Amino acid sequence: MLREVAHFVRHAPAALRLKRQLPQAELYDRLCGAGEDAGMAMWRAELVADLAGDVLEVGAGTGLMFPHYGAGARVTALEPDAAFAALAAPRVAAAAATIELAAGTAEALPGPPRSRDAAVVGLVLCSVPDPDLALGELARVLRPGAPLRMIEHVRSPRLVAGALMRAVNPLWLALNGQGCNLHRDPLPRLRAAGFTLDRVEPFQIFTPGIPAFPMRAIWARAPG
């Protein structure tokens, strides 16, 4: 835990300076873009490269997942924030997959029940106002047994670190300005929504300006 706190304290001043200079979407793209080389890109590729057919990506942000889809994926990428979507647009053209960007939220997904071959959610459940509603929507639109691939940061399973994350969550919410909570755990919510968890990989990314949260790469399957 000391290493994580030291990482945060060391990089916070520069990140806060950058936050005053850049709009939110550009700040996200700059800081997370650096995280791609520090390991995120590898996890993204491992998660989504094998997906094919009609794929729904929820909360696509600035499109950092787009380079990792294979040519067999037809991706509908939902993003509610126009400034994030504007930065994602050039990555649509560069992708191997066919990608359509659309406005939309996790709580009201487009499409009839059991219509999607796969879904992808990257660093989104931390900030949606109602994660259970979002998972219910994903269970609705996915075909039975279809893959749901996720990357989420989670509350630490360690007692002291978990309690500290819960305690500092209000401060983190005020700092990040994106509604991102650091004390959530999507795994029990996924099980409660009927998803089967096939594989869960813990990892951490140490990159300037982003807290080294405990992360999980998640391979799940839709109910039914």
Under the rule (CB under 6 A), what is the footprint of ligand SAM? 32, 58-61, 64-65, 78-81, 84, 105-107, 122-124, 127-128
- CB nearer ligand SAM, residue 33 or residue 223: 33
Q: How far is the CB of 161 from ligand SAM (least distance, A)?
A: 21
| Nearer CB in complex with ligand SAM: 89/163 | 89
Which letter, b or e, does each residue of 1-38 get, where b requires 16 or more Cβ atoms within 10 Å of its Cβ? eeebeebbeebeeebeeebeeeeebbbbbebbeebbee
- Token duo for residue 101: 């960007």
CA distances for 57 relative to 43, 118, 122, 124, angstroms: 16, 9, 8, 10
* Spatial distance between the Cα atoms of 203 and 212, rounded to a whole number of angstroms: 10
- Taking the C-alpha atoms of residue 56 and residue 41, their distance in angstroms, rounded to an integer, is 19
Cβ 167 to ligand SAM shortest distance, Å: 22
Measured from the CB atom, the residue of 58 and 222 that comes closer to ligand SAM is 58
| CB 202 to ligand SAM: min, Å | 17
Residue nearest to ligand SAM (CB): 61
Shortest distance (Å) from residue 147 CB to ligand SAM: 17
By beta-carbon proximity to ligand SAM, the closer residue of 84 and 195 is: 84
| Helix (H) / strand (E) containing 215 | strand 215-221
